[in-house]
Structure 1
């Protein structure tokens, strides 16, 4: 069975992230979502909250796929984490040309460090291209409606985080 590693911060998971995850599940029998943990940053959602949200979002759209998903934390090199979890594919979502330029550089470096791990680029759906987790957090924090940008479970969690905002 082919295993793919899909890294990111997922703070919070967006519709774009979910789209890429679903595409990764079409390519691989098992997908390991790697949540990057950086001790110098304070995320909105804890690792456990993000992991649970990812599982809930997948369950909502593919209820029978839970066994094909693992969620892990990582803090080192992505390729090292991919190898550690038996992945031969590294999945990266692309929204636009700027993403492509950056991701091509990363793919080249990763290929040099881990020739056995192949980077696969997945194009975002047109409706998801402008979405970033940073913008979602900012809009939600200011009381804006992010329902078009995140799955229902994430929307509920964001409302819980910012319910005291006015």
Structure 2
């Protein structure tokens, strides 16, 4: 039987409880899950790549310890399907929060399928408690002094607080 290796790509700037919800659910569907942190300089991330990878690794350690799943974090800066192949991944996991996410994700999945038909894309709907969480909103609320503790872990909140104090 073929080993099921999933790849969950994103910028994770920062990693939120919504991302963790998708990771936990995706990890139960595959033998091994790779959380792929994209460079994505075009989005102008608040945290650099090393910081985002470190935050993701810290969050994955909790999931691995509590759920006994196989997860690793890797940075990438290449075409997603090429990175998937280099990791041995045969499934790309994408999280959907709302119908508005679907059109873009559907187009991307179609392009990926044309480039690499052997790699499947699986869409996971965000849980109802996470559907509204986005990294962009978390950063905006946190930057303006709002309480973000229900949207990110205490570790990520501390990193955001530190980052915002440096920018002030």
- Give the structure-1-normalised TM-score: 0.91
Aligned to 1:32: 34
Question: 1:42 deviation in Å?
Answer: 3.7
1:91–1:122 contact (8 Å) kept in structure 2: yes
Aligned to 1:129: 131
How many pairs were matched up?
166
Q: Which moved more, 1:141-150 or 1:60-69?
A: 60-69
Aligned to 2:46: 44
The correspondence of residues 1-166 of structure 1 with structure 2, limited to 5 A, is 1-63=3-65, 68-163=70-165
Give RMSD over aligned pairs: 2.0
2:94–2:121 contact (8 Å) kept in structure 1: yes
1:96–1:35 Cα change, 3 Å:
same
Q: Which moved more, 1:56-65 or 1:103-112?
A: 56-65
Question: 1:40 deviation in Å?
Answer: 4.7
Question: 1:111 deviation in Å?
Answer: 0.6
Q: Which moved more, 1:76-85 or 1:57-66?
A: 57-66
Secondary structure (helix, strand or coil) at the match of 1:130 reads: coil
Question: 1:147 deviation in Å?
Answer: 0.7
C-alpha separation in 2, matches of 1:99 and 1:39:
21
**Unmatched tracts of structure 2, length 5 or more:** none
Question: 1:59 deviation in Å?
Answer: 2.4
